[in-house]
């Protein structure tokens, strides 16, 4: 050890390891991978917290990630399109049946998420199981909701306030 003082020794080790990681990227990647495997729950919790506190940085990082490979964005779009195609065709007849069923069940047009009456123009079709999670356009997977409630729900399977 080149230093007897504990603080200096730590600083020297930090600088040395930083240089070593730069010279040996495969070794550094393997160390990171092993750490992530060993501390999976801790890393997931940290990432969840960071993503919640930094939505704009998260978006910037995502865009940077997409820019590294121009085909990534295209592949993501193609996957989303495939899910939509798999969901089937959403006909006017199905939508009409969903509206009629809602009115029969509640007596008036009512939001299936907050159970409050819906004013004209404030309604939207809600997928109980979102298309992004493998849901379909079948009648049993559709319901009526306020636009705001539906947006708040996002792509989650069930809504909790």
What is the extent of the structural domain holding 126? 92-153
Write out pLDDT tens, residues 19-55.
999 999 999 999 999 999 999 999 999 999 999 999 9
What pLDDT sits at residue 38?
95
Same domain flag for 98 and 77: no
pLDDT at res. 158: 64
Quote the longest CA-to-CA distance of the chain: 82
- Look over the chain and give the mean of its residue pLDDT values, rounded to a whole number: 88
Query: What is the rounded distance in angstroms from the CA atom of residue 128 to the CA atom of residue 113?
Result: 10
Residues contacting 27, CB < 8 A, separation 6+: 20, 21
Helix/strand/coil for 43? helix
Is pLDDT larger for residue 54 or for residue 79? 54
Q: Would you say residue 158 lies in a domain? A: no
Contact 98, 110 (CB under 8 A): no
Q: What is the pLDDT of residues 116-147, one digit of tens each?
A: 999 988 999 999 888 888 888 889 999 999 99
Q: Are 101 and 124 in the same domain? A: yes
- The answer to whether residues 32 and 77 belong to one domain is yes
Residues 11, 52, single domain; the answer is yes
Q: Please tell me whether residues 30 and 71 are part of one structural domain.
A: yes
Q: Are residues 15 and 82 in the same domain?
A: yes
């Amino acid at each position: 050890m080149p230093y007897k003082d504990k603080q200096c020794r730590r600083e020297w080790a930090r600088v040395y390891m930083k240089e070593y990681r730069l010279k040996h990227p495969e070794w550094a990647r393997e160390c990171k991978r092993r750490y992530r495997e060993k501390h999976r729950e801790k890393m997931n919790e940290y990432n969840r917290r960071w993503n919640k506190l930094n939505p704009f940085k998260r978006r910037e990082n995502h865009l940077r990630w997409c820019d590294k490979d121009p085909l990534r964005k295209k592949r993501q779009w193609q996957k989303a399109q495939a899910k939509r195609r798999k969901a089937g065709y959403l006909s006017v007849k199905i939508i009409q049946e969903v509206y009629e069923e809602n009115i029969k069940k509640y007596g008036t047009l009512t939001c299936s998420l907050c159970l409050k009456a819906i004013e004209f123009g404030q309604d939207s079709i809600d997928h109980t199981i979102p298309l992004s999670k493998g849901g379909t356009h079948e009648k049993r997977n559709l319901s009526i909701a306020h636009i705001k409630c539906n947006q708040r729900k996002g792509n989650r399977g069930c809504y909790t306030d």
